[in-house]
Amino acid sequence: MKELDTAPILITGMSGGGLSTAAKVFEDKGFYVAQNLPPEIIVELVELCTRADSPVSKLAVVTDVRARMFPGSLIETIKELEGHGMEPVVLFMDARDSVLIKRFDSVRRTHPLQEGDTLKDGIEREREAVAEVRERADIIIDTTNLSVHDLRRVIEASFGSMNKDVPHVTIESFGFKHGSPRDADLVLDMRFLPNPYWVPELRGYRGVDKPVSDYVLSVPAAGAFIDRFVEMLDTMLAGYRHEGKDFITVGVGCTGGHHRSVAIAEELGRRLRETGKVEVNVLHRDINRE
């Protein structure tokens, strides 16, 4: 049996959460992408792609709540793949209910589970239906505050090079005034550090710029915090791996997501890469937002 270059990726989540955009990103990255497959067909497709004569080396499958009309469930499919030694990576796309409603309204579509009721009723039914899969997901991406271009960057950063042998850590800076990321496994609050915004000569810079980075990292509390967090995360990673969780997202927040969180996220990324134990990607969600 041929081994795929990466684990098969199952893309699922809330209707309107960005599944189609995610599929396009994986297509652009050279994946063979199959959309809207019933659960029982997914195992057959993965097996087909692992045959010696298969031209497919990277596979992503999109399946959404409409597959419920067919026998089987996505959880059963995941377990069957695991039993065949083909453990998939599950990507769950999500967004806040209010945003999902706006997206459906903008394209004048009804929700697949609306059943003559309100759009909100359909979304609530879907949340209940996909709750178990969301809990099992390796990566959850909240698209509430993401543009199409932002989503592409988040997906590419979250998956990195897809090295199967090391944990993947995504460090995402953000501004609390824009809402904390719901897809983060850990959230760090940098508002205990002095704010460069109140230093006139630094206000126009960002945390990726040396003047701001130097200012933030010169505070003794910043260095002490980073040292302790890197040590703590090293302990947690062993536990995560034991529990089968290889993708971890760390949110690093400050007020606006321009200065402190960005500088600390960059330094955390550098320090974690130095360990050689993890694959690290750093994102700055709100760095260009007002």
Distance CA 39, CA 24 (A): 21
DSSP secondary structure string, the chain? -PPPSS--EEEEE-TTSSHHHHHHHHHHTT-EEEES--HHHHHHHHHHHTSTT---SSEEEE--GGGGGSSS-HHHHHHHHHHTT-PPEEEEEE--HHHHHHHHHHHT---TT-TTS-HHHHHHHHHHHHHHHHHH-SEEEE-TT--HHHHHHHHHHHHTT--TTS-EEEEEEEEGGG---TT-SEEEE-TTS--GGGSTTTTTS-TTSHHHHHHHHTSHHHHHHHHHHHHHHHHHHHHHHHTT--EEEEEEEESSSSSHHHHHHHHHHHHHHHHTSSEEEEEETTTT--
Binding positions for GTP: 64-67
Distance CA 266, CA 107 (A): 38
Binding positions: 64-67
DSSP secondary structure string, 15-56? TTSSHHHHHHHHHHTT-EEEES--HHHHHHHHHHHTSTT---
